[in-house]
Structure 1
Amino acid sequence: MSCTKKDLSPRSELLQPPTNAHLQAISIVDENTTWISGHDATFVLTKDAGKSWELFTHPTGDSLQFRDVHGFDDEKAILMTAGSGPLSRIFTFTVPDQWEENFVMEDSLGFLDCIDFWDDQKGIAYGDAIDNYPYILLTSDGGKTWNRADSTNMPKAGKGEGGFAASGTCVTTGENGKAWIATGAGGNCRFLITEDYGQSWKEVDSPLVTGDAAGNTSVSFIGDVGVVTGGDLLVADDYTDNCAFSIDGGKTWNLSGEPQTTGAFYGSAITKIENQTFAFASGPNGIDYTTDLGQTWITLDSTNYWAISIKGNIGYASGPAGKILKISLQP
């Protein structure tokens, strides 16, 4: 007698919000520990898989917008704020209330969009272009100091090119020094790819829609399989070319089938469990997922979620008014 494992499918549970702040970046450390950051200088932490949340705020008040977060463990995280000039900052936070300011944007035209880390020392931040080259920051000491990447080995920036600071996922890191930056805006739409921890970069075109407020918004990888989401942020109730997949580490991309949810997607996530790959796209009109690399899509939720993150078989989505949705991949 033989037995066959049942395929997994996503189940969702709306959690009790710990805050009314707009939550728009998620960092899953492990199955129990997750950090979620947002507006009003607010961020939250769970140590018990979402059953309860600790609420934190920056002591200077609610002017800061924590558009991205990277948790190292259940006590320490790096937080990035977005905004013009000095409103773009990077902090180290240690529970319960220890702050260290690591970076302040000096250029008034600067605007940070997202951060990620390869390990507990090497990290990367990306922001809108302020000159002829992409604005990329690197750290090799756990976020204590940040320096702009050498422009010698990178393509020039397009006019008005940058990232969308909507879900904390316009840059994602991979194994062995790989990282992918998803760019857009100003008619630009491409990927910046490194394989040596940001020392050199190459560009790859994206098939997503272009426009003043269009392009790539989010990129996620599991191994060499990646998903990019985006669209035209000015088109809320119609379809544009807003999702694509790569199976060769980002060298080539192919548009997916048409999602069920209309409008632009702000966030993406991808995970693989045994022989099943799940990719998710989240945005103001809802969350869709696919199990066949975008050939077909299924709607998981039809309300507003800007950010989504999956690690293993556990994930979260977050959005306005402190909304947090827990996602579990179950038989």
Structure 2
Amino acid sequence: MKSLLLAAALVVAVVFSGVAPATAGHEPTWQLKPTGVTAQFRGLSAVDHRVAWVAGSEGTVLRTTDGGASWASVGPPDTSTLEFRDVEAFDARTAVVLSIGPGAASRIYRTSDGGKTWALTFQNAEPAAFYDCVAFFDRFRGLAMSDPVDGKFRVQLTRDGGRTWRQVPEENFPPALPGEAGFAASGQCVATAGRSDAWIATGGGAKARVLHSDDGGRHWTASDTPLFSSVSAGVFAVAFRTPDQGLAIGGDYANPTGRVANLALSRDGGERWKAVESGPVGYRSGVAWHRGSVIAVGPKGSDVSRDGGRTWRSIDSGSFDTVDCADVCWASGEKGRVAVLTRG
């Protein structure tokens, strides 16, 4: 949502190697790692336990190759006015970053040398479009999503690792609801699983919905979720463990501690959604699967589920915006903070 896009963000890189059962003295704890910056980061991509990229305000992109012990500033030159809200990295050298905003502010840059040089591979030319998130199926095939234009969502597809992009025909989308859009809150309003399944998370309209494609982003259908929806509420992040099993999470960012419907599960690829009454309390902007667990983060805390999202426990009350997992998990947040999640 455009009303959220200029809000404050967080940076915290979080390594998650599994959370121990909740027993006294063994709760996970955060171990802070300095980055030397105060940028606001909502974009995050975890490559492995040593390599991760974060992207955020004032054109800032950081990369670590030593598990967060040190960070290098590797962003594209002359982009200090841009807000990078998503990054997708394939290794320590190759990454794609997305900047958000109306018209030409929505851009995609690509590097293949660890950020030494960048190519501008997409720049939005449509004044009414506003790109929110980008995701990849593999190193070559990916998609970037925009808020609706003339009642239809916009999606760009790539088949060459982000070097070139082409727009999906608007007739391949269901009509958008009045006020419906994506939230550029965590880089997770687009998700993929398997070779060809993708999902778009929405809010802002009368219903919080999830759009689904089973053909690599070429054609889309929409399903209602039970999540609360308003101008400031809806589905902020969607994550699928398999093409069938996934969850949608969100809430109301204008009321981050409010007890509104903020979590739903699907076991049929997003065709149907079931509310979870015992989910995290309050607004959650990011979610990720890690092995058999699910991690959710937001400005008022972090939570973990060990049973596929049916039951949850709080593991921290600090503020985070997004989370991403490879062999370990990282999360990002405000004021340049970086932390490792340990078992305590």
After TM superposition, is the score higher than 0.5? Answer: yes
Alignment equivalent of 2:330, drawn from 310, 316, 321: 316
**Are 2:39 and 2:336, in contact at CA under 8 Å, matched by a contact in 1?**
yes
**CA separation in 2, counterparts of 1:61 and 1:114?**
18
SS at match of 1:57: coil
**CA separation in 1, counterparts of 2:208 and 2:276?**
16
Q: Partner residue of 2:230?
A: 211
Following TM superposition, by how much is the alpha carbon of 1:260 offset from its aligned partner in structure 2, in angstroms? Answer: 4.8
Equivalence map 1:266-305=2 (5 Å): 266-272=285-291, 277-305=292-320
Alignment equivalent of 1:23, drawn from 19, 28, 41: 41
- TM-score scaled by length of structure 1: 0.90
**CA deviation profile, 1:34-61 (whole Å, cap 9, x unmatched):** 1111111111111122222212233214
More strand by share: 1
SS at match of 2:152: coil
Give the gaps of 5 or more residues in structure 1: 1-5
Q: Partner residue of 1:87?
A: 105
Q: After alignment, is 34-43 or 297-306 more displaced?
A: 297-306
**CA deviation profile, 1:185-216 (whole Å, cap 9, x unmatched):** 13341111111111211111111001122110
Q: Partner residue of 1:56?
A: 74
Following TM superposition, by how much is the alpha carbon of 1:17 offset from its aligned partner in structure 2, in angstroms? Answer: 2.6
CA RMSD between the two structures: 2.0
Following TM superposition, by how much is the alpha carbon of 1:306 offset from its aligned partner in structure 2, in angstroms? Answer: 0.9
**CA separation in 2, counterparts of 1:57 and 1:198?**
28
Alignment equivalent of 2:273, drawn from 253, 258, 279: 253
Equivalence map 1:130-209=2 (5 Å): 130-209=149-228
**Are 2:252 and 2:258, in contact at CA under 8 Å, matched by a contact in 1?**
no
**Are 1:227 and 1:270, in contact at CA under 8 Å, matched by a contact in 2?**
no
**CA separation in 1, counterparts of 2:310 and 2:287?**
16
Equivalence map 1:35-46=2 (5 Å): 35-46=53-64
**Are 1:256 and 1:293, in contact at CA under 8 Å, matched by a contact in 2?**
no
Q: Partner residue of 1:3?
A: none
Alignment equivalent of 2:140, drawn from 118, 121, 124: 121
- TM-score scaled by length of structure 2: 0.87
**CA separation in 2, counterparts of 1:96 and 1:106?**
25
**Are 1:18 and 1:44, in contact at CA under 8 Å, matched by a contact in 2?**
no
Q: After alignment, is 242-251 or 110-119 more displaced?
A: 242-251
Closer, same or farther: CA 209–96 of 1 in aligned 2, 3 Å:
closer
SS at match of 1:152: helix
Following TM superposition, by how much is the alpha carbon of 1:102 offset from its aligned partner in structure 2, in angstroms? Answer: 0.9
Give the gaps of 5 or more residues in structure 2: 1-17, 22-27
Q: Residue type matched to 2:31 in 1?
A: E
**Are 1:71 and 1:78, in contact at CA under 8 Å, matched by a contact in 2?**
yes
Q: Percent identity?
A: 34
Q: Partner residue of 1:240?
A: 260
If asked which structure has higher relative contact order (CA below 8 Å, sep 6+), I would say 2
